[in-house]
Structure 1
Amino acid sequence: MSERLSVFKTYKLFIGGKFPRSESGRVYEVTAATSAADAAGKGNWLANAPLSSRKDGRDAVVAARKAFGAWSGATAYNRGQILYRVAEMLEGRREQFAAEVADAEGLSKAKAAAQVDAAIDRWVWYAGWTDKIAQIAGGTNPVAGPFFNVSSPAPTGVVALVAPGESSFLGLVSVIAPAIAAGNTVVVVASEKAPLPALSLGEVLATSDLPGGVVNILSGRAAEIAPSLAAHQDVNAIDLAGADAELAKELETAAADNLKRVLRPQPVDWSAAPGTGRLLAFLETKTVWHPTGSLGAGGSSY
């Protein structure tokens, strides 16, 4: 029997629930981050990843905006079910992601598997928070008059995420999951040097119950893609988790043009308990006034 040729995986972008190649047709080499490779200044070839263009970024924003109405309007319980389903799907592909994370970050199989397990647990954790956000971010307010004044959280809108460069999967999940748990839709710029776990995550999301366009994943150079996202008038907020100081300053300046909410980069231990900071980062407060007393015919009284 003749020896078979290797069948290499073709990685693609994830935009609007579909898998397009980069609009420009460009790709770039992704190499393994082994200690030997680091010492030599280069790694073993893993795959060619799409090199996203600004046009790809604009397409992703259009998809995210189109998906926002239905996703933000879904019940919090339903969003939680969908996030839990993503965790289920990841559990079934645990070995694949452990291998990709090991290559991406130069980790042992055991340490990579622990990172994947933590990422799956994080999806479950945020799934449980979807219908509890209002309890910590909303409430009734005292007023000097015969009124009820109630504040409740509402999602900000379309959020651009610059994913962490060093934590290719756990860090990635840690910025995506809280944003969509709160009802936002996202455009993610994956780690430039280690995009493969992010692109594989797109395959999981496409076969889960997550509606197309809620999460859109781009690979390539953050310095090329992110500025146009930060300046985009239909992007409402931006998370600079993976941006270095110089890029973060450029993106924050661009984001000021339409008063985007900006989450600045800061040192984060992605393996630590996440808390509620990122869960609350991209929420607005909606306040409703209502008179006390009878609501009229057929209504109830307070």
Structure 2
Amino acid sequence: MSDTTREKTAKTAKTSRTAETSKKKPASDAEPGRARLSVFKTYKLYVGGKFPRSESGRVYEVTDSAGTWLANAPQSSRKDARDAVVAARKAFGGWSGATAYNRGQVLYRIAEMLEGRREQFVAEVADAEGLSPERAGAVVDAAVDRWVWYAGWTDKIAQVIGGANPVAGPYFNLSTPEPAGVVAVLAPQESSFLGLVSVIAPVIATGCTTVVVASEEAPLPALSLGEVLATSDLPGGVVNILSGRTAELAAPLAAHQDVNGIDLTGADEATAKGLETAAADNLKRVLRPSPAGAPADWSADPGTRRLTAFLETKTVWHPTGSLGASGSGY
């Protein structure tokens, strides 16, 4: 074989091997400059432990502080609010009947899972509230710490606000706190995550179940919180999260006969008055928002005010001492 023929054969073999190798390479290696389509997150409601879309099919645009589009959030309807109340009522028996110790373990598990998704919440809080990554990280850390704080209160609040009452007679008179039932919560508008945690955690820590209306302008951290709750040990229906127009959802919740309490934190002063009037129809417990001109400081020590806001006091009389001629006693 001549030198010219051998050279042509070698070139042909090399070309063939190159073509074969290029076929085996992934597209990303073969075309490193090829642009990918963005996969945007689809946010949904969290009701009854599931993720339904709004019954009406409506959505609304959510933007950051600079007006940049972030996502389309589901715009809940009155029907969604009613469904959430049904889910909360169904879950109330089991959750209120759980031991305080067990509720504390569940809340602590939620804090663990929030810690594991810290980066996601830092990004969402930064966008929602116009904060730097460092400041948003501090807010998320404070929210996780608050979950842990309320987890520690579940088996202690009864000792703080309950006890034995002195009476004139051979009786024990004991007062113990009990959860009121289903609580509607209008989450703070200005604090999309720390404020949100600060109004949800005390409600469920004491054995109530809740329907939460997220911040209207910044609902994404709340909807992501639903994903954490769904994969934690929290039973479905204990927390139900709705996004949409606060005024549209607050009215049916305030007037709902199966809602036992309402937290008006996220309502403005004028709206809160009307909601308080509607809540009086079935004697709901009402937690009023901060006075006008005095925004809540969510980083401050929360105290026990929210823990006791939706508790009822049960008083029991029990005889003590000798009973009749038999001499038996208690």
Taking the aligned partners of 2:164 and 2:200, their CA distance within structure 1 comes to: 30
Taking the aligned partners of 1:12 and 1:211, their CA distance within structure 2 comes to: 18
Which amino acid is 2:321 matched to?
Answer: G
**Aligned pair partner of 1:72 in 93, 96, 112:** 96
Establish whether residue 288 from structure 1 lines up as the match of residue 295 from structure 2. no
Q: Which moved more, 1:166-175 or 1:285-294?
A: 285-294
**Aligned pair partner of 1:271 in 299, 315, 322:** 299
**Aligned pair partner of 1:182 in 201, 206, 224:** 206
- Secondary structure in 2 aligned to 1:227? helix
Taking the aligned partners of 1:14 and 1:118, their CA distance within structure 2 comes to: 23
**Aligned pair partner of 2:70 in 46, 58, 67:** 46
Taking the aligned partners of 1:280 and 1:136, their CA distance within structure 2 comes to: 10
C-alpha deviations, 1:183-224, integer Å up to 9, x for none? 000000000000000000000000000000000000000110
Q: 1:140 to 1:54 in 2, by over 3 A?
A: same
Higher-Rg member (1/2)? 2
Q: What is aligned with 1:11?
A: 43
Unpaired runs of at least 5, structure 1 = 38-42
Which amino acid is 2:80 matched to?
Answer: D
**Aligned pair partner of 1:121 in 120, 145, 156:** 145
Unpaired runs of at least 5, structure 2 = 1-30
Establish whether residue 32 from structure 1 lines up as the match of residue 64 from structure 2. yes
- Secondary structure in 2 aligned to 1:180? helix
Spell out the pairing of 1:90-169 with structure 2 (5 A cutoff). 90-169=114-193
Taking the aligned partners of 1:294 and 1:91, their CA distance within structure 2 comes to: 56
- Secondary structure in 2 aligned to 1:159? strand
Establish whether residue 228 from structure 1 lines up as the match of residue 273 from structure 2. no
Which amino acid is 1:18 matched to?
Answer: K
Taking the aligned partners of 1:49 and 1:127, their CA distance within structure 2 comes to: 30
Taking the aligned partners of 1:144 and 1:5, their CA distance within structure 2 comes to: 77
Q: What is aligned with 1:82?
A: 106
Establish whether residue 56 from structure 1 lines up as the match of residue 80 from structure 2. yes
Total equivalences in the alignment: 291
Which amino acid is 1:187 matched to?
Answer: V
Taking the aligned partners of 2:261 and 2:251, their CA distance within structure 1 comes to: 13
How far 1:293 sits from its partner (Å)? 2.6
Which amino acid is 1:223 matched to?
Answer: A
- Secondary structure in 1 aligned to 2:60? strand
Which amino acid is 1:174 matched to?
Answer: S
C-alpha deviations, 1:216-271, integer Å up to 9, x for none? 00000011011000000000000001100111011111101111010000142001
Taking the aligned partners of 1:102 and 1:200, their CA distance within structure 2 comes to: 14
Q: TM-score, normalised by structure 1?
A: 0.95
Q: TM-score, normalised by structure 2?
A: 0.87
Runs of 4 or more off by more than 2 Å in structure 1?
293-296
Superposed CA RMSD in Å reads: 1.2
How far 1:92 sits from its partner (Å)? 0.2
Q: What is aligned with 1:40?
A: none
Taking the aligned partners of 2:267 and 2:259, their CA distance within structure 1 comes to: 17
Spell out the pairing of 1:187-198 with structure 2 (5 A cutoff). 187-198=211-222
How far 1:282 sits from its partner (Å)? 0.5
- Secondary structure in 2 aligned to 1:28? strand
Q: Which moved more, 1:246-255 or 1:86-95?
A: 246-255
Which amino acid is 1:217 matched to?
Answer: I
Q: 1:290 to 1:115 in 2, by over 3 A?
A: same
- Secondary structure in 2 aligned to 1:187? strand
Identity of aligned residues (%): 82
